[in-house]
Amino acid sequence: MRRISPVLQQDGVDPDLISLLKTILAACREIAFRVSQGELAGVLGSTLSENVQGETQKKLDVIANELLKEVILETGVVKAISSEEEDDIVPGNPHGRYLVTFDPLDGSSNTDINSLIGTIFSILPADPHKDASDASQFLQPGSAQVAAGYVLYGPSTMLALTTGKGTRLYTLDKTYGGFLLTAEQATIPKYTAEFAINMSNQRFWEAPMKNYIADLLKGKEGIRGKNYNMRWIAAMVGDVHRVLCRGGIFAYPRDLKDPSKPDKLRLMYEANPMSFLVEQAGGASSTGYQRIMEIIPTDIHQRVAVILGSKHEVETCVNYHRNSTAPVISD
Ligand code: AFP
């Protein structure tokens, strides 16, 4: 089985980017170890602080954030980082060629129940004309990403990675200490009969999503003509991993439960990197109204509605958004 460096070299990836990715993965291996120690390492439970998103920080959120921040800034190739757990961007080397955004621990509420969590990261090119402390340098569309990935801390620790030449899956070999290539090309099937959505928000969704899910629930007897199954891990990283492995549609749509916060997932830390991985695996990703990777961000902590996964299913859901009264099913 092949290690990461030769695979990336074969793809013609910039050596500085390869060494940056390896540094991020070294931090993730450390996070994987702390996660596996659980209560023994005293890392479970919450801190007394909140992050900029107004969410209570878990101890592991803080540990993972500090680990990643420190090693990424030490590489010397990074001009600045932006983390879900930091209020502001953190400047690095003024001459660095890359910007890194990350969610250090996605699904952190799962830590207390020993369930799936992960680290999501995205790498953007740095603009040589902007100052390292200028947050506007991060406001690039997802289509500008040069690499994106996640490390899933599950029964085995897995990496999904893209540099724009397909999405590959790697598994951490704890005996050797590195990630080994275990799926040359993740391929999301075009068709699916599985959806992932938090159904408890149903009454707060917009009409197109209500209509789309209502039609899925009608099963064989309804307009979709087949029975659908449902899954919900409450960690996007786990739900997207399932989609990469066997297809499906994952959605966190806009809802009016808290009108001051209609969208939940973060564009730069979650939606963009996951959209890049999903599109590179043959899937699709949209807000319902726009391809996610085409959104020009206006704020580093911006949130968006997310619908991603099997192409036909995402396109069908988008069609409901185009015409909320007459559902259109693409073939
Ligand atoms: P945390 O990282 O704050 O735990 O949030 C995880 C998440 O943003 C995303 O990974 C899940 O899909 C979603 O929240 C789960 O949300 P619900 O609480 O609605 O299940």
pLDDT tens digits, 114-151: 999 999 999 999 999 999 999 999 999 999 999 999 99
Q: Is 327 domain-assigned? A: no
- Which residues line the annotated binding site? 84, 103, 105-109, 198, 264, 270
Sign of CA dihedral 262, 248, 109, 28: negative
Tokens 């400047």: give the residue. Answer: 91
CA–chain centroid gap for 35, Å, is 19
Q: Is 189 domain-assigned? A: no
State which of 47, 51, 62, 198 you would mutate to test the pocket of ligand 1, scoring each by most atoms of that ligand within 8 A of its C-beta: 198
pLDDT < 50 regions, the chain: 326, 328
State which of 265, 267, 268, 307 you would mutate to test the pocket of ligand 1, scoring each by most atoms of that ligand within 8 A of its C-beta: 265
Tell me, yes or no, whether 148 and 209 share the same domain. no
Ligand 1: centre distance to CA 109 (Å): 8
pLDDT at residue number 147: 98
Tell me, yes or no, whether 102 and 137 share the same domain. yes
Atom of ligand 1 nearest to the CA of 266: 8
Q: Is 255 domain-assigned? A: yes
Tell me, yes or no, whether 124 and 225 share the same domain. no
Tell me, yes or no, whether 127 and 272 share the same domain. no
Tell me, yes or no, whether 10 and 58 share the same domain. yes
State which of 61, 62, 236, 303 you would mutate to test the pocket of ligand 1, scoring each by most atoms of that ligand within 8 A of its C-beta: 236
pLDDT at residue number 48: 59
- Which of 183, 202, 235 is the last residue in one of the domains? 183
Atom of ligand 1 nearest to the CA of 61: 2
pLDDT at residue number 53: 67
pLDDT at residue number 325: 56
pLDDT at residue number 39: 84
Structure tokens at 60: 């592991």
Q: Is 329 domain-assigned? A: no
Q: Between β-strands 56-58 and 46-50, what pairing exists: parallel, antiparallel or unpaired?
A: antiparallel
Tell me, yes or no, whether 146 and 229 share the same domain. no
269: CATH: 3.40.190.80
- Which residues line the annotated binding site for Mg(2+)? 84, 103, 105-106, 270
Look up the pTM and report it: 0.95
Tell me, yes or no, whether 42 and 153 share the same domain. yes
The count of domains in the chain is: 2
pLDDT at residue number 58: 75
Ligand 1: centre distance to CA 201 (Å): 13
Q: Is 31 domain-assigned? A: yes
Tell me, yes or no, whether 243 and 288 share the same domain. yes
135: CATH: 3.30.540.10
Tell me, yes or no, whether 138 and 229 share the same domain. no
Ligand 1: centre distance to CA 110 (Å): 9
CB under 8 Å to 281, separation ≥6 — which residues?
Answer: 166, 167, 185, 186, 187, 188, 244
> Who lines ligand 1 at CB under 6 A?
55, 106-109, 198, 234-236, 252, 264-265
The domain in which residue 131 lies consists of 4-183
pLDDT at residue number 76: 96
Q: Between β-strands 98-106 and 78-83, what pairing exists: parallel, antiparallel or unpaired?
A: parallel
Q: Is 293 domain-assigned? A: yes
Neighbouring CB atoms inside 10 A of 184's CB total 11
- Which of 115, 148, 183 is the last residue in one of the domains? 183
Tell me, yes or no, whether 140 and 228 share the same domain. no
179 strand-pairing partners: 172
Tell me, yes or no, whether 34 and 163 share the same domain. yes
pLDDT at residue number 279: 98
pLDDT at residue number 44: 74
